[in-house]
Amino acid sequence: MLQGDSIDFFNRDTRIIVIKRFNVFLKAMTKKAIILLSGGLDSVTVLAMAKQQAYEVYALSFDYGQKHNAELNAARQIANDYQVLEHKVINLGLGEIGGSALTDDDLTVPTTAQAGIPVTYVPARNTVFLSFALGWAEVLDADAIFIGVNAVDYSGYPDCRPQFIEAFQALANVATKAGVEGGTISIKAPLIDLSKGDIIQQGLSLGVDYQQTVSCYAANREGEACGQCDACRLRKIGFEQAGVNDPTRYQ
């Protein structure tokens, strides 16, 4: 274009080109993330972190056959309070295969620490959850999936370790349209190397109200915690480490 030339913004073809380029610019400036939102302490923390990082946030929860819905009810309230753009709750039948005290009526939630991988482990749960999140991320053209797994103060579940996250990232890179076309859907696990106390301090710095959350494996209908299961034990340790009062409602 020579100096002095001007663009005819009233030309239809020119307007279409400008609008398309502007839309591409807007998309480049907009980040979308899916948060795996259980309603527990860790998941609300990563939700707050994603919001703080200026992601447009979508929440994904699962009714997977767990024995109580208190945590799921908390997830719905948290999603509403954080004004996520959309909150999906997907029904799964993991209870049909059993194998976990969280889904199998023949198994009891332990009240003492267990050696090895405990009976509260739900077989392949995070693999299934991330797979659904990955599919939705493709539909939304999302940039990231946030999951609140932690490998420091945790129950020893195999799908909460860094090796699992790295392997799923590799899968996402080869099993999606975005990956094949040169893009990336990032699997983000920002809590994985933090102690439970560090997680709580991070959340408090972002204004998280942990009284809203439910972590207990055996909570009652009102969301009150048993105070004895492994999840309650780790949660108590976390608030002690953080040096703040435990806002958990106990039975």
pLDDT at 23: 46
In this prediction, residues 81-105 reach a mean pLDDT of 95
Band (pLDDT 50/70/90 cuts) for residue 205 is: very high
Indicate the average pLDDT of the chain.
91
Cβ atoms of 136 and 88 closer than 8 Å: yes
Cβ atoms of 42 and 149 closer than 8 Å: yes
Output DSSP code: residue 222: T
In a domain, 224, yes or no: yes
d(CA 230, CA 233): 5
Band (pLDDT 50/70/90 cuts) for residue 2 is: very low
In this prediction, residues 154-161 reach a mean pLDDT of 90
Select from 5, 62, 53, 12 the least CA-distant residue to 33. 53
pLDDT at 29: 64
In a domain, 41, yes or no: yes
Q: What is the number of domains present in the chain?
A: 1
Percentage with pLDDT > 90 across the chain: 82
Task: Report whether pLDDT(42) > 60.
Answer: yes
CATH code for the domain of 139:
3.40.50.620
In a domain, 72, yes or no: yes
Band (pLDDT 50/70/90 cuts) for residue 181 is: very high
pLDDT at 115: 82
d(CA 11, CA 129): 49
In this prediction, residues 95-100 reach a mean pLDDT of 93
Entry pTM: 0.88
Task: Report whether pLDDT(50) > 50.
Answer: yes
Select from 198, 222, 247, 245 the least CA-distant residue to 42. 198
CA distances from residue 176 to 15, 136, 138, 241 in whole angstroms, order as listed: 34, 11, 7, 40
- Could you tell me the residue range of the domain that residue 236 belongs to? 31-242
In a domain, 82, yes or no: yes
In a domain, 16, yes or no: no
In a domain, 201, yes or no: yes
In a domain, 15, yes or no: no
In a domain, 215, yes or no: yes
Q: What digits encode the pLDDT tens for the residues 8-35?
A: 555 676 665 555 554 444 555 689 999 9
Band (pLDDT 50/70/90 cuts) for residue 5 is: low
Comparing 30 with 144, the larger pLDDT belongs to 144
